[in-house]
């Protein structure tokens, strides 16, 4: 990564404004159709500055990939308790972390998601391995050292993992759609988390061994 010293010396707020604007633009339109004009307008800076901070569109894009991967690993993954052996409990906590992360970085997830769907052939080898490492890390953070014995004997645990994960994703998307346009910080999360718990408890009562079950 080239220096971009000038950008790194900016006050944190401005940095974030620019990065969020750029992440949003790229994740919504893809590399080619992303517009630097829209980025500077959204970020509230002059056109010249973007190319003062980053030598061109491409370098900005690479910077964003590094940034997004860093944020994901340091501000999200690292906060999840991998000691928790109960899959559903671990998920409950990870979702709370995710909400806080999303409030600060509303576009990092979408950006990385779009990057995942993109043909990565054109990425530098270094970036690609970093990205793949991040994916592996995300995987193990969800599944490593999970206590399989909590699940009923008559259901396939790996498939159950998937079902639970997909359900959470679906619930998330529904929330994002429902609260579209509202500031995350302005939303009262308590009833949301409560409802979320109810959903997960259904999985607990139906996928887990119940007290009194013959082992």
Partner DNA sequence: TTTTGGTTGACCAGAGTGGTCTATTGGTGG
Partner DNA sequence: CCACCAATAGACCACTCTGGTCAACCAAAA
Residue ranges that bind its own copies, judged by CB under 8 A:
29, 33, 117, 152, 154-156, 159-160, 162-163, 165-167, 169-171, 177, 198-199, 202-203, 205-207
Q: Residue 163 or residue 193: which is nearer to its own copies going by CB?
A: 163
| Residue 36 binds: one of its own copies, DNA, none (C-beta under 5 to 8 A by kind) | DNA
| Residue 10 binds: one of DNA, its own copies, none (C-beta under 5 to 8 A by kind) | DNA
Residue 90: burial class (beta carbons within 10 Å; 0-12, 13-18, 19+)? buried
Q: Residue 35 or residue 149: which is nearer to DNA going by CB?
A: 35
| Residue 38 binds: one of its own copies, DNA, none (C-beta under 5 to 8 A by kind) | DNA
- Shortest reach from residue 9's CB to DNA, in Å: 5
Residue 208 DSSP symbol = B
Which pair of structure tokens corresponds to residue 17? 């404004």
Q: Residue 1 or residue 144: which is nearer to DNA going by CB?
A: 1
| Residue 47 binds: one of its own copies, DNA, none (C-beta under 5 to 8 A by kind) | DNA
Least Cα distance to 68 among 123, 144, 121 occurs for 123
By the rule CB under 7 A, 35 interacts with DNA: yes
Binder to DNA among 22, 34, 68, 108 (CB under 7 A)? Answer: 34
By the rule CB under 7 A, 73 interacts with DNA: no
Contact between 77 and 30 (Cβ < 8 Å): no
By the rule CB under 7 A, 49 interacts with DNA: yes
Contact between 151 and 89 (Cβ < 8 Å): no
Long-range contacts of 164-172 (CB under 8 A, 24+ apart): 164/87, 164/88, 164/91, 164/200, 164/203, 164/207, 167/199, 167/203, 168/91, 168/95, 171/196, 171/199, 172/95
Which pair of structure tokens corresponds to residue 101? 């992360």
105: which residues sit within 8 A by CB, 6+ positions away? 20, 23, 71, 75
> Applying CB under 7 A, which part among 32-40, 78-86, 89-97, 161-169 lies near DNA?
32-40
Q: Residue 177 or residue 185: which is nearer to its own copies going by CB?
A: 177
56: which residues sit within 8 A by CB, 6+ positions away? none
Q: Residue 29 or residue 129: which is nearer to its own copies going by CB?
A: 29
By the rule CB under 7 A, 92 interacts with DNA: no
């Amino acid at each position: 990564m080239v220096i971009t010293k000038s950008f790194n010396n900016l006050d944190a707020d401005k940095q974030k404004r620019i990065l969020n604007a750029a992440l949003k633009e790229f994740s919504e339109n893809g590399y080619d159709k992303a517009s630097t004009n829209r980025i500077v307008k959204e970020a509230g800076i002059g056109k010249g500055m973007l190319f003062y901070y980053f030598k061109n569109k491409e370098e900005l894009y690479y910077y964003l990939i590094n940034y997004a991967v860093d944020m994901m690993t340091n501000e999200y993954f690292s906060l999840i308790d991998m000691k928790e052996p109960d899959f559903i409990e671990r998920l409950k906590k990870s979702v709370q972390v995710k909400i806080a992360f999303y409030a600060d970085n509303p576009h990092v997830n979408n950006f990385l998601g779009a990057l995942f769907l993109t043909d990565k052939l054109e990425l530098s080898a270094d970036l690609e391995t970093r990205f793949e490492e991040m994916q592996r890390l995300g995987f193990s953070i969800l599944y490593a050292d999970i206590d399989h014995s909590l699940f009923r004997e008559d259901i396939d645990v790996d498939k159950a993992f998937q079902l639970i994960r997909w359900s959470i994703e679906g619930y998330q998307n529904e929330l994002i759609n429902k609260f579209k346009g509202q500031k995350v910080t302005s939303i009262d999360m308590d009833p949301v988390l409560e409802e979320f718990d109810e959903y997960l408890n259904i999985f607990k009562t139906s996928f887990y061994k119940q007290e009194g079950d013959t082992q």
